[in-house]
Amino acid sequence: MRILAAVALAAVLLTGCGAASKPQPVSRAEISEARSFPYYPLYWVGPRFEGVKLISADGQRAYAPLFGDSVYYGNCTGDKGIFGGGTCQLPLQVKTLVYQRHSNDALGQQRNILVRGVPAALYDGGHALELYTGQVAVDLYSTSLAGTLRAAEELRPINASGSPGSPLPLPVFCPELVGETTRRIRAVLASLPHRICRETLRRQAFAEAIYG
């Protein structure tokens, strides 16, 4: 499954990294499929982001639970494609997937922040953000810290109601944030439904006492 997903992502990236200066526009069929995605809210930032067009959207047919679904904006930046020895980074990619409990250690150096009332981890020098809302994690990959934060303010579901800038639904899980958390972040975590963070810590302590 990992290989198939990697091939699919490479195909999308190569679409924007060829010799043509203008990427192909997203098809109506792709938009329709994304709008009818049935499993959970699938986030995007609209048909354009700061003048950059949406060029591709995953849907139910491309869905893999481990990798979630993504929407992609703009053509690639830089001079070389992903097979040319350089980097090929889209101006913006937004990925939504059901949250699976994990430690954020793998994200490397990071900073915990609140975005529209929900916890988030800013990492990769500000080029990436993992945001926690409802039952999902939303990952944004951008070319700059400013772009990442602006995109986070524009997030809304393509297949459900929601508007840019409005408060996002609190997560129904306790994200495993790494590093310093502010008083405001701790207050949000303490307010999550069913005291899920306290319950998660209790279960973790019990497991450590049993298994060491």
pTM of the model: 0.80
Type of residue at 64: A
Spatial CB neighbours of 7, under 8 Å, sequence gap ≥ 6: none
Domain range holding 83?
2-211
Looking at the 3D structure of the chain, how many domains does it have? 1
Compare 152 and 14 and report the one with higher pLDDT: 152
- In this structure, is the dihedral angle defined by the CA atoms of residues 195, 94, 147 and 105, taken in order, positive or negative? positive
73-80 average pLDDT score:
58
pLDDT digits (tens, 9 = 90+) for 10-58: 444 444 444 344 567 789 999 999 999 999 999 999 999 998 999 999 9
